[in-house]
Amino acid sequence: MKERLLELLRCPSCGDTLNLEEAVWDQGEVKEGLLLSPGCGARYPVRNFIPRFVGDDNYARGFGFQWNRHARTLVDSFNGTTITADRFYAGTRWQRADLAGKRILEAGCGAGRFTEVMLEAGMEVFSVDYSNAVDACLANHGLHPNLHLIQGNIYALPFAKGNFDRVFCFGVLQHTPDVRKSFLSLAAQLAPDGSIAVDVYPRTFKALLHYPRYLLRPFAKRLPAPLLYRLVCGAVRVFLPLSIALKRIPVLGRYLFPLLPVANYWGTFPLGRDMLREWSIIDTFDWLACWYDQPQKASTLAAWLQEAGLEDRQVHRLGSFVGLGRRPASEGSSHRA
């Protein structure tokens, strides 16, 4: 943890500033220590360079298992593609040239696939995850001078509000218990004139009809993560070749291949055989291990953007529904610490 992070951190229980105690320093950062709230007496550990405002035993623990096991797979610099960077810029519609020096809150960083893109753009990145996937993100990016990692709750973010030029959250909101509450919590973090980009899985009849994961997930999510992972690996070994064969069928293939309960990116992304299989394992496990999976309508996302008082509101389709908006500059001068 960088010492300057203390300027922005606040107790998620009472909102007070936090004092650093019992700090053990390594490479110029706090490796171990305690954050103490004078207001309510709450104590939060700093462990492995990361302040922890939640424990590991929560509904996102399956994601932590997954990302620590597949820490590098989806990271562009490891897999040799630009898949993540392309999605980031196509989804947010932000221009890279405008991002250098900006503060961005990344909610649900996982192993840091999008974190890499933000760091390469020269942003100061504050990456939060509810699970211990933050450790995988640290392993991928190290003690980067522009990176702050926090394990925390999206409903009770440990920051002073109004301090971020950008807020970004892809692949996360539908996996929280209350999607609307999660979105509004993120929107409240925007500084005046700051922009947000979030996405949600689309809620359509076609999606519900064609994805057997919705039938399997109520049972699968209750399995221990290591057992579910082994089952997923077996399923991918059997069903992915069949799914690819179905996907090759002209016209009808696009409707048939989703009937098999494995993720299939053949023909979608430029991945070799081994990487295609690994991506399938990751996303199939993701489908089945998540405790909550709540797709949303485009109209619902648009309503939340309006409820948050944002301007320049847009909802567009990029596989998922992507919502964009900007906090009005007229709300006053920046609250940035």
Q: What is the pLDDT of residue 55?
A: 83
- In eight-state DSSP terms, residue 267 is T
**Structural domain boundaries in the chain:** 53-59+81-202+297-331, 208-289
- In eight-state DSSP terms, residue 5 is G
Q: What is the pLDDT of residue 105?
A: 98
- Average pLDDT per consecutive 10 residues, the chain (337 residues; last block may be shorter): 96 96 96 96 96 81 80 92 97 97 96 97 97 93 97 95 96 94 97 97 72 84 93 96 96 90 94 94 91 92 97 95 95 51
pTM given for the model:
0.93
Q: What is the pLDDT of residue 262?
A: 95
Q: How many CA atoms lie within 13 A of 195 on its CB side?
A: 14
How many of the other CB atoms lie within 10 Å of CB of 222? 10
Q: What is the pLDDT of residue 210?
A: 61
Backbone Cα Rg of the chain: 20
Q: What is the pLDDT of residue 164?
A: 98
Terminal-to-terminal C-alpha distance of the chain: 17
What fold is seen in the domain 53-59+81-202+297-331?
Answer: Rossmann fold (3.40.50)
Identify the CA nearest to 173 among candidates 281, 283, 300.
300
Assigned token pair, 188: 């409240």
- State the residue for tokens 């974190």: 115
Q: What is the pLDDT of residue 71?
A: 84
- Distance CA(125)–CA(137), nearest Å, equals 12
